[in-house]
Every structure is written in structure tokens, then in C-alpha cells.
Amino acid sequence: MSIIEVNGLCRDFSYYEKREGLHASFHNLFNRKKLVKRAVKDVSFSIEEGATVGFLGPNGAGKTTTLKMLSGIMHPSAGEARVIGHVPWQRKKDFRMQISIVMGQRSQLWPDLPALESFDLNREIYEIDRRAYRETLDELVSLFGVEEQLPVQVRRLSLGERMKMEIVAALLHRPRVLFLDEPTIGLDIISQRSIRELLKGLRERFGTTVMLTSHYLSDIEDLCERIILINHGSIVYDGPLARVNDALSDRKTVSLVLSEDIEPAALSGYPGFQSLEGLTARFEVDRAAVRSFSRRVLEELPVADLTIADMPIEEGIARLYTAGGER
């Protein structure tokens, strides 16, 4: 059963052209040129209940704008959407009580108060029974391992600790749908891994449907089986993460660790040469030619180590962005 259904969603932003100089400023007072940017263009997809879906795209692709429309923060210019059977931008109470949104660059917690105070405020806002609130809070605090941070002012927490508290606050009313916009932005590797491990348990523990945006491919690979790629406001791919590199399945990456310095010009004559960083050279080679290529470089170059691997998934995603992709 689809819990999120989107059909032909569009969002336009209007603004005025501003030219440089005093004369242009006076001119704009009486004759301004209005411009329109379509940030989201005819976006359509559906998400099943309990799924965790990655929503990816470069900066300015329309990811956050789409999430804001699906959470009811922003009205669309055209199209329709239903989340848990509701039109999001109507902001009906029953809808608001069943969703949450966490934005990595914005906080819902009061910075000068301990997170526990903000949690209690959320209890009042969402009309949560005190016993149910206590049970859910104890479960989340134990799951996230933040017992010692509860009485600490939010502004005194580390970025990773604060993000854990943000997610706890978003889950107190046990939402059926959780929108996460860059939840691991700015976090160190350990904190990113910790947040991912916590999110993995959401479907098993709460049955939460998660729509996640992130620029970190580790987040997506760990959490999502399906991804939706958006670029210039339009969807360029919607399907399993494992199929992103299907178009690159006939290629392999060959990495060489050299035992001595070599000029890039000496490597450019070899097929598929991509880069040379320090003593590590990277090549893209046809799968059928890998054996002969390996034999040649081992005979002709001072190779200390050789590694053959599938094309990295970020390469497939980058090519989908660049080429426009196929749905």
C-alpha cells in the first residue's frame, strides 16, 4: 500500500532581475523584470509504507523543495500529492500528528534549554499521553544512548549529539512518515555511522516510512534499497540502488600503486587512464580487456600493487546527473 503518492508536482519561484549600478536601481523602481524559476518540474512517484527511500540530487536539484511540499510547509504551483491519505499543504491536524521532518541545518530544539524540556513541549503539542510519552522516550533514549546528555543545554552538545536529540524529538509521537533532509551533514565519520545504525532500526521498531536526502553515499548504501534521483527539478532515475551501475557493468576500475614516480604523460598512452594521485593511478577498462591490460601494465610499469573493482556507485550516479538519465 502506498503511503506517499505524488503526481505531476511542480513548484515555481518568482523573483526580479537586479542589474548592477545606481542607474539600473532607479530603473528597477519603475520597470522591474519578473523572472520565474521552476525548481520542481512534473515530479511523480509513490512510496510503500515501511520503506526507506533515498532522495538524491546535486545542490539546487529540488530535493528540499519537494520535501517541504510533502510535509506541508510549502504549497506547490501545480500537481497533487497525498501523504497518509492527506493533501499535505492543507495541514490538517490528523496529518500533522502522523509525520515529522528533520532538517540537518535547522533545529527544532530550544538551544538554551536541555533537550528534555523541548521533548516535554512536543508532548504537549502532539497531545501524547504521559505514560505513552514516558515509554517512548525511555525506548528512544536507550536506543540512541543519550541518557547523559538529557539535562545538558542543547547549545552545549556536539553536532552528533544534537542530531540524535533532533531525531528523538521527531519520533516521540511515533510518526508513520519521517522526512530526513541531510541528517548527517557536518558530522564526523563515527557520528554518521552511529546515526545510520539508529535509523536502520526504525522500520523494525516503529514501522516508520523514511524519505532521506543526503550527499553522503554511505548513508544511502547502508539504509536504502531504492533511490529517486532528481536533477534540475526532474526525476532522472527511480529504482533499485543496485541497478544504478547497470549501464557501467561492462567496465572495471583498475587501480595501480606504483613503486616509483611516473609522469602522467607516460600513463596517458594506456587505454582508460583517468587520474594519477601520488603513486596511485586509476584506469577505466572494458571488462573483456582487463586481463590483457593487467598483463601489459605489470610488464611495462613499476607496479607494487594492482586492484580490480567494479565501477563505484557514485560514478553511476554522477553519470545519471550529467547525462540526464533514463527513468
- 270-283 pLDDT, tens digit per residue, is 999 999 999 999 99
pLDDT at 325: 45
Q: Where in the chain is the domain with CATH 3.30.70?
A: 246-310
| CB of 212 closer than 8 Å to CB of 53 | yes
pLDDT at 29: 72
DSSP annotation of 270: S
Residues of the chain with pLDDT under 70: 245-249, 314, 322-327
pLDDT at 12: 94
pLDDT at 245: 64
pLDDT at 249: 64
Looking at the DSSP bridge assignments, the partners of residue 213 are 181
Q: Where in the chain is the domain with CATH 3.40.50.300?
A: 2-242
Fold of the domain built from segment(s) 2-242 = Rossmann fold (3.40.50)
Buried b (16+ CB within 10 A) or exposed e, 185-216: bebeeebbebbbebbeebbeebebbbbbbbeb
The grid cell for 52 is 526507506
This prediction has a pTM of 0.77
CA 61/CA 229 separation, integer angstroms: 9
Contacts of 107-110 with CB under 8 Å at 24 or more apart are 107/154, 107/162, 107/166, 108/166, 108/169, 108/170, 109/154, 109/162, 109/165, 109/166, 109/169, 110/154
Task: Provide the CATH number for the domain formed by 246-310 in this structure.
Answer: 3.30.70
pLDDT at 327: 42
